[in-house]
A and B are shown apart, each in its own frame.
Chain A
Amino acid sequence: MSDSRALKPLFQGAAVVLALGLTTLVLLATKAPPLAAYVNIARGAVGTVSVALDVLVAWVPLLLVTSGLLVTFTVGLWNIGIEGQITFGAIFATWALRSFQGGAASGAIDPALAIALSVLAGMAGGALWAMLVGALKTFGGVNEIFGGLGLNYVATALNLWLIFGPWKRPGVASMSGTVPFDKALWLPTINEQSRFAPIAVVLALVAIAVVFALIQGTYFGLRLKAVGKNPKAAYLLGIPTWQYTMASFAICGILAGLAGAVQVTSVYHRLIPSISSGYGYMGLMVSMLVNFSAAVAAPVALFFAALNVGSIQLPITLKLDSSLAGVLQGTLVLFVILAEGARMRFMKKGGRKA
């Protein structure tokens, strides 16, 4: 066994080297200077205090959705509908903020309370959309991958319809989103220019800590794991599997909805067309990369957020598409999965010889 532990970093190191190698080949294929591109990403992520704070701003929703996904993965579910759940959270939070706007301006309601209630509304919206996927799965036999994907597109359409229809800016509707909320309803940031809200970071850290404790240290978490490992055996042992499935969808949806609510109250201060920004799919990648364990999710999510923010400047400085971050993330996850398979195969072969 000690051999396998020693070999693991070796295989993971090889995966990182291969991922970097393949991404470098992709860069060379477009006749782009690889080193300059990597330096550009690093500088774009940590070069100044302002961009480093932007990384933290991107880290919050990513860590929130990853926390939620770790719960659904514990039950063995692929909650690909997470993107729609973020969007629904954002829609519900926007609806609440719009309703409170008048009250907050006239002093009828405390702005802090209005923000808190709107965030709760966002969490409810995410949970609602997630439980719809769960209901389709448990009562209709629709695989959660397809149910979730379909509902992602529906949520996007609903979002666009709201932005271009009932909630459009006075005069002309546009891709830039709804009218920004009053400043009183923004989540407090460290200064006027920054989008960095310390409360949001605390929320994300609490979320991952709670999920870690829930899965590792509670009876509920143990039963979630039992359902994930062997639903039939869990059911025979008296665990109501469908209730645990629904509960895991609800928890994931709550955290995804929270991510959506944070995006509207602290980052954009309005509802925009691509409000989920692909954080849901990225959260799935982070979950796979950390092998579905909450222990190292926070630093890996931070790294992914840094890659995303770091690549924003690529189109301007090097005329490269910013999807390079996705290429690097994708090759990394792919090679880590392949390396894990190769390690298991290698050990099995070694075991047979011995």
Chain B
Amino acid sequence: MSVDILLLGLAGVLASAGPVIFAAIGEAISERAGVINLSMNGMILLSAMGGFAAALATGSVVAGFAAGAAIGGAVAAVVAFSSITLKQSQVAVGFVLTLLCRDLSYFLGNPIMGQPGPRISMAPIPLLEGIPVLGPLFFRQDAMTYLSFVLIAAAWLFIYRTRPGLVLRGVGEKPAAAYARGANVGGLRYLYTILGGAIAGLAGPMYSLSIKAGWKGTISGLDGIGWIALAITIFGGWSPIKVALGAYLFAFLQWLGLVLQSALPGVPSQVLQVAPFPLMILTLLFVNLGNAEWVSNALARLPEKPRRALARLLRAMNAKPPAALGTPFEKD
């Protein structure tokens, strides 16, 4: 019996990681092309509100997800236009957009606050759901969670195993070389920033139509998710599989926090709620430690054997961003 409860909890972890996977893989695609879309945190709020409003108006969850993707794509298009065409700071525009989208979601969402609305339904896959352990984990989910599984594989295959994926990486690593080989650097950056934004835009409706159904304004509990997704993109080294692992780890720790909260009543709930954020800092510290000068100096003083082992460990954890990330491309 307790095994069933554990499986149910873990299935919930897989589902609740879904939106973070959409957001972080969308961001990874955008950053692979060289564009940081820092608007993620506010954009998820706006797409959650907009997706819920669209689903409420039409009665269709599909319309809700379409609205979420459209909002994500539109916000990303502003980032793309200002950074690619107008050569403005990506961080500045992204940060303004994250605050603007948040306030827009609170303002526009005011009339539909707290209203009951449609929800996405569970879609167990016949036959497969009967498999012991794997069935309840992977095949008794809703359609969007299945889509999140597909996205991990599809994004990985696209980036590492197809020719357009190779060009995408080239545009973010060595835009000049990609341009010399005939790639339309500006156009491709537009394409992948908007595509990445649209994928990330699905994260909002996944909350408002499923995981945290409805729109509750400032107490929706979604503020912060976008920043976590941005950090997971770095933690995952811009690779879809590692990014997904980061998202699952995050969701697992959140679930563990909930379980611990009932087991340890002495620990204030506020402490466990923000636990992901110090963890975010720590993971970023680990993946960046190998780049620090004092670390390599300290390593050099160690004897041969531990030095090699430590260096290998640091290199394995090290995350290296696309070389041209955040820099505009000049043709001449």
List residues of A whose CB falls within 8 A of some B CB.
26, 29-30, 78, 80, 136, 139-143, 145-147, 149-151, 153-154, 156-157, 160-161, 164-165, 281, 284-285, 288, 320-321, 323-327, 330-331, 333-334, 337-338, 340-342, 344-345
Residues of B within 8 A of A80 (CB): 95
Bound CA span A97–B114, Å: 40
The answer to whether A139 and B292 touch across the interface, beta carbons within 8 angstroms, is yes
Chain B interface residue count: which class?
Answer: 35 or more
Given contacts A160-B268, A288-B95, 16 further A-B contacts (CB under 8 A): A142-B285, A146-B230, A146-B280, A150-B281, A151-B277, A154-B274, A157-B270, A160-B270, A165-B268, A288-B96, A320-B110, A327-B107, A334-B93, A341-B85, A341-B86, A341-B87
The answer to whether B270 and A164 touch across the interface, beta carbons within 8 angstroms, is yes
The answer to whether A141 and B292 touch across the interface, beta carbons within 8 angstroms, is yes
Bound CA span A157–B267, Å: 12
Bound CA span A319–B92, Å: 32
Given contacts A142-B281, A145-B91, A157-B270, A334 and B291 within 8 Å (CB-CB): no
The answer to the question of B104 belonging to the interface, with a C-beta cut-off of 8 Å to chain A, is yes
Given contacts A140-B292, A160-B270, A161-B271, A154 and B277 within 8 Å (CB-CB): yes
The answer to whether A136 and B281 touch across the interface, beta carbons within 8 angstroms, is yes
Residues of A within 8 A of B97 (CB): 330, 334
Residues of B within 8 A of A326 (CB): 99-100, 102-103, 106-107
Nearest 3 interchain pairs by C-beta: A341-B86, A330-B100, A326-B103
Looking at the complex, which one of A141, A331, A344 makes contact with B289 (CB distance below 8 Å)? Answer: A141
0/1 string, B213-234, CB within 8 A of A gives 1: 0000100000010010011001
The answer to whether A30 and B108 touch across the interface, beta carbons within 8 angstroms, is yes
Residues of A within 8 A of B88 (CB): 337-338, 340-341
Bound CA span A210–B292, Å: 34
The answer to the question of B273 belonging to the interface, with a C-beta cut-off of 8 Å to chain A, is yes
Q: Closest CB-CB distance, A134 to chain B, in whole Å?
A: 13
Bound CA span A153–B87, Å: 32
The answer to the question of B278 belonging to the interface, with a C-beta cut-off of 8 Å to chain A, is yes
Given contacts A281-B99, A285-B99, A321-B107, A142 and B87 within 8 Å (CB-CB): no
Residues of B within 8 A of A342 (CB): 86
Residues of B within 8 A of A321 (CB): 106-107, 110, 217
Residues of A within 8 A of B110 (CB): 30, 320-321
Bound CA span A149–B277, Å: 8
Bound CA span A334–B97, Å: 7
Query: Would you give 16 A-B contacts (Cβ < 8 Å), ordered by A?
Result: A78-B91, A142-B284, A145-B91, A146-B227, A150-B231, A153-B277, A154-B278, A157-B273, A160-B268, A161-B270, A288-B92, A326-B99, A337-B92, A338-B82, A340-B88, A345-B85
Given contacts A140-B288, A146-B280, A153-B277, A324 and B91 within 8 Å (CB-CB): no
The answer to the question of B306 belonging to the interface, with a C-beta cut-off of 8 Å to chain A, is no
Residues of B within 8 A of A143 (CB): 234, 284
Residues of A within 8 A of B277 (CB): 149-151, 153-154
The answer to whether A29 and B108 touch across the interface, beta carbons within 8 angstroms, is yes
Nearest residue (CB) in A for B227 is A149
Given contacts A140-B288, A146-B230, A151 and B281 within 8 Å (CB-CB): yes
The answer to whether B100 and A334 touch across the interface, beta carbons within 8 angstroms, is yes
Given contacts A26-B107, A149-B277, A344 and B87 within 8 Å (CB-CB): yes
Cβ < 8 Å to A, chain B residues 112-150: none
Residues of A within 8 A of B103 (CB): 323-327, 330
The answer to whether B86 and A338 touch across the interface, beta carbons within 8 angstroms, is yes
Residues of A within 8 A of B85 (CB): 341, 345
Given contacts A136-B281, A334-B100, A324 and B93 within 8 Å (CB-CB): no
Bound CA span A323–B85, Å: 30
Residues of A within 8 A of B92 (CB): 288, 337
Residues of B within 8 A of A160 (CB): 268, 270
The answer to the question of B182 belonging to the interface, with a C-beta cut-off of 8 Å to chain A, is no
The answer to whether B100 and A327 touch across the interface, beta carbons within 8 angstroms, is yes
The answer to the question of B265 belonging to the interface, with a C-beta cut-off of 8 Å to chain A, is no
Residues of A within 8 A of B217 (CB): 321
Nearest residue (CB) in B for A160 is B270
Q: Closest CB-CB distance, B93 to chain A, in whole Å?
A: 6
Q: Closest CB-CB distance, A166 to chain B, in whole Å?
A: 10
Q: Closest CB-CB distance, B258 to chain A, in whole Å?
A: 16
Bound CA span A165–B268, Å: 8
The answer to whether B270 and A140 touch across the interface, beta carbons within 8 angstroms, is no
Bound CA span A110–B103, Å: 44
The answer to whether B96 and A333 touch across the interface, beta carbons within 8 angstroms, is yes
0/1 string, B53-71, CB within 8 A of A gives 1: 0000000000000000000
Nearest residue (CB) in A for B111 is A30
Given contacts A161-B270, A337-B92, A140 and B289 within 8 Å (CB-CB): yes
The answer to whether A337 and B93 touch across the interface, beta carbons within 8 angstroms, is yes
The listed residue with most A CB atoms (<10 A of its CB), out of B82, B270, B278, B288, is: B270
Bound CA span A161–B275, Å: 13
Bound CA span A142–B288, Å: 7
The answer to whether A146 and B281 touch across the interface, beta carbons within 8 angstroms, is yes
Bound CA span A107–B224, Å: 46
The answer to whether B104 and A141 touch across the interface, beta carbons within 8 angstroms, is no
